[in-house]
Structure 1
Amino acid sequence: MTPALRATLIAGIQDGSIVPYLGCGVLADVRHTDTGAAIPADSDSLILAMNNGRPMSPKLMYEFPRAAMNVELKRGRGAVTRFLDQVYGDSRWTRAAVHDWLRAIRPPYVIDVNRDTQLQDSYADIPHTLIVGVARVTGDGTRYRLFAWDGEKYTPTSDLAPGQPILFKPMGTPRPGGAGYIASDADYVDYITELMGGFAIPPTLKTLRQGKRYLLMGLRLNRDTERMVMADIIYAAHTPPGWVLIAEPTAKEERFCARLGLEIIRADIGELIGETAMAA
């Protein structure tokens, strides 16, 4: 990554013209303060944590949504929700360097496809709007919930607050409770279908996101699920739509990025936020 590109990315993130899009890799340095264990964030570690540390069959180990669907069919959807609440509702996790970096520069709009609360913690001292993805709900055609944070608590709201930061958690978060998660295959099928139909993005955000560029951080693009979600969330982006940080991309990732017009930056996150920050 050249110094000029790094400066362009940071300036764009600060002024809101470039939107950070966070994948599981941004949590790579997070550890449990009691056990030292890494937070389950990527597909394999989530499956192992959900199955008490034991691998599932190769077919189910392929992807977390598939494994979560298996658990849901055997024990009910609530079992998956309770597992994710237990993992990500636990406050005994160290801070990710990326989230400390974001807290310092405060982008006006961030997309985070992880299910933890660290992004929300980074904005806890200022009012903001939280968008949480939902799936398989009845009586409402939308696939999101909006919450306003006043510095102390979240309350449901009907629209984005003008001038306030927007935190988009499409796969869910334990805080505030009640919205649930996008986790199993059935959740993703419903959510992606409605995302493609325009029902998973608030109308105000559809206007605001037009012409934005994106920086994908900690996100690998080998799986169709992640690629479909990302492509629809960044719909109406600038042409070209932005960049993705992948130090060693696969041929599949290279082909996909070329098709979307995403520029691959062959560097890791530390080169953007600073190696000192990553090591702290």
Structure 2
Amino acid sequence: MIPYLGPGVLTLATDGIPIPASPEELVVQLTKAATVPHKIRNNLTAAAQYIENFKHRKTIAAAMNKAFEQTPEPSVLHKWLAERPQLPLVVNAWYDDLPQKALAVRKNWGSVQGVSQAEHFGYWVNYFRADSSLVPNKEFVRDGSGAKAPAEAPPETLSWETLLYQPIGSVTPASNYVISDSDYVEVLTEIDIQTPIPEVVQSIRKGRSFLFLGCRFTTQLERNFARQIMKRSSDQHWAVIEGPLTKNEAKFLAEQKIERIETPIAEFVASLIGQPVPASTADAAA
């Protein structure tokens, strides 16, 4: 089973360091960096696009770095996952670096992160070793139409025992962010044919189920990314989601054969790892 972590898992961190744990919280941080029109103030990707257009891409990167510059220690879930003897793939669909911190206990691992075409034109992802050094991408190759397309994964990445896939980037190690409307348009234009999704991810997911933790599927972006990352995997998945579902969420879960586990994530994780729920976490979940 492949863990697919969303921003909601950050609620499990208990050391008191504030960090955006939802798109709604993150857009508040971004709009502190620049004034945006009222009608898009609560729309993360639109606000990021406005700031990029009128304040430059560097302003977005600086605001994102500030929002995630101090991250808490990995939660018990991150640590438990990192200690599993067999962990071929972890998906982290948020910008934090808690998975990297937790995976430091392992030796043979690396990460692959989505990157913005505005900053890395022609490449969909960058690969990083466990020591945070960049694995050089191969040169462009030509696809069937003659257009430029990224080459296959660098050979050394295929030998990693654990791959951390961060489809929308991460603060660590190189401040890669897929965040603005234009960033997502570039990815979504190609994602149906799987071009932005690394071949190694496509290979590992075959026949495997996904376990969604800390994820909601209220927006089209969240549903599209999950759908495409799950493509050609198993026909049974699970998602821990507490509280009422929207109509679109319910429809998505049914279409994708995702069985809902309706329980607070803190309680689920406590049962999963066989430990009591920390008091602060239990109070927050309540």
Matches within 5 A, 1:68-147: 68-91=48-71, 93-105=72-84, 107-125=87-105, 126-136=107-117, 141-147=122-128
Q: 2: CA distance between counterparts of 1:29 and 1:171? A: 21
User: Which of 166, 170, 189 is equivalent to 1:169?
Assistant: 166
The secondary structure found in structure 2 opposite 1:167 is strand
The equivalent residue for 2:224 is 228
The equivalent residue for 2:239 is 244
Q: 1:76 to 1:56 in 2, by over 3 A?
A: closer
The secondary structure found in structure 2 opposite 1:26 is helix
Q: Is the 8 A contact 2:28 2:42 kept in 1?
A: no
TM superposition shift of 1:129: 2.0
Q: Is the 8 A contact 1:97 1:278 kept in 2?
A: no
User: Which of 3, 15, 20 is equivalent to 2:3?
Assistant: 20
Matches within 5 A, 1:56-67: 59-67=39-47
Matches within 5 A, 1:6-17: none
Count of paired positions: 255
Question: Per-residue CA shift, 1:167-223, capped at 9, x if unaligned?
Answer: 001111122216x21001111111222322322122233222211110111111111
TM superposition shift of 1:132: 0.5
Question: Per-residue CA shift, 1:222-265, capped at 9, x if unaligned?
Answer: 1111111111111111113x011112223331112112211111
The secondary structure found in structure 1 opposite 2:212 is strand
Q: Is the 8 A contact 2:73 2:98 kept in 1?
A: no
Could you tell me which runs of 5 or more consecutive residues in structure 1 were left unpaired when the two chains were aligned. Answer: 1-17
Q: Is the 8 A contact 2:92 2:166 kept in 1?
A: yes
Q: 1:163 to 1:134 in 2, by over 3 A?
A: closer
The equivalent residue for 1:256 is 252
Q: Is the 8 A contact 2:206 2:233 kept in 1?
A: yes
Question: Per-residue CA shift, 1:107-165, capped at 9, x if unaligned?
Answer: 3310001111110111113221211001315886441112222xx44231514332510
Q: Does 1:269 align with 2:265?
A: yes
The equivalent residue for 1:190 is 186
The secondary structure found in structure 2 opposite 1:161 is helix
Q: Is the 8 A contact 1:98 1:278 kept in 2?
A: no
Q: 2: CA distance between counterparts of 1:75 and 1:146? A: 29
User: Which of 133, 142, 146 is equivalent to 1:154?
Assistant: 133
Q: 1:114 to 1:20 in 2, by over 3 A?
A: same
Matches within 5 A, 1:201-212: 201-212=197-208
Paired letter, 1:276: P
Q: 2: CA distance between counterparts of 1:258 and 1:208? A: 24
TM norm structure 2 = 0.80
Q: 1:279 to 1:109 in 2, by over 3 A?
A: farther
The secondary structure found in structure 2 opposite 1:256 is helix
Paired letter, 1:114: W
Q: 1:138 to 1:66 in 2, by over 3 A?
A: closer
TM superposition shift of 1:99: 1.7
Q: Is the 8 A contact 2:241 2:263 kept in 1?
A: yes
Q: Is the 8 A contact 2:33 2:59 kept in 1?
A: no
